A and B are shown apart, each in its own frame.
Chain A
Amino acid sequence: GQQLNQSPQSMFIQEGEDVSMNCTSSSIFNTWLWYKQDPGEGPVLLIALYKAGELTSNGRLTAQFGITRKDSFLNISASIPSDVGIYFCAGSRTSYGKLTFGQGTILTVHP
């Protein structure tokens, strides 16, 4: 089946630092999405990317849809304690929108 490889698995950073995480796939996706999940909650959409090469920002978050359609990255600038959580990439190939999720990146921010 389709697999997304997300890295790193976890990150421990100081408040104020920038963060970068990425996802790669052996197959093409037509949509890339980035979600954040807090403990006991469902994933919350951060950024959606629909075109190869697209670079999109949402506040301190920036994400790019790779030109090959097989990868995406998410950057968080000037991290703050509330950025703590698990970040998931997700890709979709079909028009009905089934999502394939990466394994997640656990982000810890030290004040």
Chain B
Amino acid sequence: EPEVTQTPSHQVTQMGQEVILRCVPISNHLYFYWYRQILGQKVEFLVSFYNNEISEKSEIFDDQFSVERPDGSNFTLKIRSTKLEDSAMYFCASSKASFDGYTFGSGTRLTVV
């Protein structure tokens, strides 16, 4: 079964450093998303991406965050200057059509120290 692949599975970074989280969505999917889950809390929407541009973003997705689809397969989330409160699981998701039921990746656990 096709799956969304995220790398790395765990990243530890120092506060103030830049991190790039990588995702390979399912190949025929058109919509891409990033979500965040702070330990023990619910999953929160960050940003959606379609047709090479951001279609919607939450208030969490401030100027420190950016997304990119640098080639035909990868979808990245960059945090420019990490803060302690950025520590969370970050999930990438993709879907074929807008209500087709997303497929989530297994996540990247980001720890900012």
Q: Residues on A close to B: CB < 8 A?
A: 1, 30-31, 33, 35, 40-45, 48, 50, 88, 90, 92, 94-104
CB-based contact A102/B99 at 8 Å: no
Chain B: interface residue total (CB-CB under 8 A): 28
- Report the bound CA distance from A102 to B95 in whole Å: 20
CB-based contact A102/B56 at 8 Å: no
CB-based contact A42/B48 at 8 Å: no
Q: Residues on B close to A: CB < 8 A?
A: 4, 31, 33, 35, 41-45, 48, 50, 55-56, 58-59, 91, 93, 95, 98-99, 101-107, 109
CB-based contact B45/A43 at 8 Å: no
A-side interface mostly: loop
18 more A-B residue pairs beyond the given contacts A96-B56, A96-B98, A101-B45, with a C-beta to C-beta distance below 8 A: A40-B109, A42-B104, A42-B107, A44-B104, A45-B102, A48-B101, A88-B42, A88-B43, A92-B99, A96-B48, A96-B55, A97-B48, A97-B95, A97-B102, A98-B56, A98-B58, A101-B43, A103-B42
